[in-house]
Amino acid sequence: MKYRSLVFDFDGTIADTLGETRKIYNQLAPEYGIREVDAHEISELRHLSLKEILGKLQIPKHRLPSIISRGTGMMRKNIDRLELIAGMKETLTELRNQTENFGILTSNTTANVDIFLQNHGIRELFDFISSTSKLTGKSRHLRAIRRTFSLEHSEMIYIGDELRDVKAAQKAGIPHAAVSWGFNSRESLAEAKPTYLFDHPKELFQIKD
């Protein structure tokens, strides 16, 4: 394996949470005085950065921590219903056998992720679950993870489905694999110039070389 450490995003990368996230957001929207998001709008939002999405939906940035906290708490009630991204279980199992450590860095809660992984029988694959409540705070956590495992920048890779994941890895100075099966579109991810860009979980095996 080319990388000693593989670190994954959770929502949209491992877990298929897009539909549940929109449902929860729409339930909270009236309380925060923001508009709901219709299903047909998702395709347009997938091309936008976080900043652009906040602007389009007119969500004040200072309200995000509260929305995220409420939303992840609500997600826990339905965590049993959420599915793995098709093909991820087999891919994760095989990749785990070929690298030193496996982890998750997410904006979701460690409790939600732990329950989800337990439900799908893959919790034992992961050495750690790290969470950040700040949507733009992942780069600092990636640097901390690298130091914890005494890794060179080139020995660790972050795998995620959003533009902010690409930017976080770039800011942390580590390689990144963008995956197009999650939130952001393939076109928008390609423009961000990730180290890799994959369209199916099985393509993750290419990072071995």
Strands 156-160 and 5-8: parallel
**Cβ neighbours, 10 Å, residue 162:** 26
Write the pLDDT tens digit of every residue in 34-81: 999 999 999 999 999 999 999 999 998 888 889 999 999 999 999 999
- CA-nearest of 178, 142, 141, 140 to 159 is 178
What size, in residues, is the chain? 209
Q: Which CATH number fits the domain that encloses residue 150?
A: 3.40.50.1000
Instruction: Please tell me the predicted confidence (pLDDT) of residue 182.
Output: 96
Is the same domain home to 56 and 126?
no
Is the same domain home to 71 and 161?
no
Is the same domain home to 104 and 202?
yes
For the chain, the domain total comes to 2
Is the same domain home to 66 and 134?
no
Is the same domain home to 93 and 158?
yes
Q: How confident is the model at residue 198 (pLDDT cuts 50, 70, 90)?
A: very high
> What span, in angstroms and rounded, lies between the C-alpha atoms of 51 and 64?
12
Q: Which residue has the higher pLDDT, 136 or 78?
A: 78
Q: How confident is the model at residue 135 (pLDDT cuts 50, 70, 90)?
A: low
Mean pLDDT of 97-120: 96
Is the same domain home to 198 and 170?
yes
Instruction: Please tell me the predicted confidence (pLDDT) of residue 61.
Output: 85
